[in-house]
């Protein structure tokens, strides 16, 4: 079995048996192709020596520890699948551990900064209501940018105050929507979307581009960059920053960690726990700034 056939077989397994998204499949494929280019052996012949050489190449090239760990995890899943398919009886990556990674806290916007971005959207320009609705949803619901881009009209329950979001692994969850976000989504659906072209495969897609297709993640990223610059914000932000800000602001307001986990669609509570660290860091900064002992010094 060559690399192309084995990677395709693994992708089919991940897609049809584990229900992983196309983006995840593409990432796994890229990681496996890196190993293919690193050695001159087929997937059934690769041994620990070749894996070690590959990992050394990654380190020498400056690949950060987090990316190295992700690639190694992709290799583990791939070779475990080959074993389950009885194509191999050994695992060449079993002795390798992920490099240690320091936990980096994500960039978070303040409430005032979020409001400044929203106010920086020029509402007299074309597609302004669409753009405002998108930014509102990213923050008000803590959605991933991919979830906004693939949001379906048939899954909107705006009258009831929530939407049904399709997240990673095609898992769906109910997310309440703030009334401000509801207002702009409804305005967009009533006044802007009917005037946009719509390709047949996107009739149920909420947010359309000027070409009638679903908006791309890159497009949303660039729009947010533009609006944040107009608001005078110098932080390096992305759509995911609004998701981090949503979760952090909920935690600071006293929300239960389990509720935040459900709203974000995190499979593991440990993923959500990072927002407790952010809140603790902010409390430390507040104490450093306002405690009378620090003021005296």
Catalytic machinery residues = 144, 168, 240, 243, 266, 275
Angle at 145 between CA 141 and CA 146, to 5 degrees: 115
Cα distances (Å, whole numbers) of residue 188 to 36, 109, 127, 192, 208: 47, 26, 8, 5, 11
Please say whether the beta carbons of 178 and 137 come within 8 A.
Answer: no
Cα distances (Å, whole numbers) of residue 217 to 45, 51, 145, 176: 38, 34, 6, 22
Q: CA 107, CA 128: separation in Å to the nearest integer?
A: 26
Neighbour count for residue 195 (Cβ, 10 Å): 8
Q: Which of 166, 216, 141 is nearest to 208 (CA)?
A: 216
What number of helices (H) and strands (E) belong to the chain? 14, 3
Give the pair of three-digit tokens for residue 16: 């049809």
3-state secondary structure of 163: strand
Cα distances (Å, whole numbers) of residue 47 to 29, 53, 91, 130, 261: 19, 10, 8, 52, 40
């Amino acid at each position: 079995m060559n690399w192309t056939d084995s990677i395709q077989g693994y992708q089919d397994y991940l897609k049809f048996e584990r229900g992983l998204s196309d983006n995840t499949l593409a990432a796994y494929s890229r990681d496996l192709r890196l190993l293919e280019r690193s050695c001159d052996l087929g997937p059934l012949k690769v041994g620990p020596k070749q894996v070690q050489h590959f990992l050394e190449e990654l380190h020498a090239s400056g690949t950060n520890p987090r990316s190295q760990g992700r690639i190694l995890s992709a290799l583990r899943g791939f070779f475990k699948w080959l074993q389950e398919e009885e194509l191999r009886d050994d695992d060449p990556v079993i002795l390798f551990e992920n490099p240690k990674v320091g936990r980096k806290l994500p960039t978070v916007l303040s409430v005032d900064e979020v409001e400044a971005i929203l106010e920086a959207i020029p509402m007299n320009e074309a597609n302004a209501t669409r753009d405002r609705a998108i930014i509102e949803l990213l923050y008000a619901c803590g959605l991933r940018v991919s979830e906004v881009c693939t949001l379906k009209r048939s899954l909107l329950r705006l009258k009831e105050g929530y939407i049904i979001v399709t997240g990673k692994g095609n898992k769906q969850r109910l997310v309440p929507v703030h009334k401000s976000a509801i207002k702009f989504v409804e305005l967009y659906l009533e006044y802007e979307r009917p005037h946009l072209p719509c390709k047949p495969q996107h009739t149920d897609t909420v947010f359309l581009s000027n070409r009638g297709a679903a908006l791309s993640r890159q497009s949303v990223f660039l729009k947010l960059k533009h609006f944040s610059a107009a608001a005078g914000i110098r932080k390096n932000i992305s759509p995911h920053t609004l998701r981090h800000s949503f979760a952090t602001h909920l935690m600071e307001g006293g929300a239960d960690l389990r509720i935040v986990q459900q709203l974000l669609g995190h499979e593991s509570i440990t993923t959500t726990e990072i927002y407790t660290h952010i809140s603790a860091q902010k409390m430390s900064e507040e104490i450093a700034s306002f405690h009378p002992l620090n003021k005296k010094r």
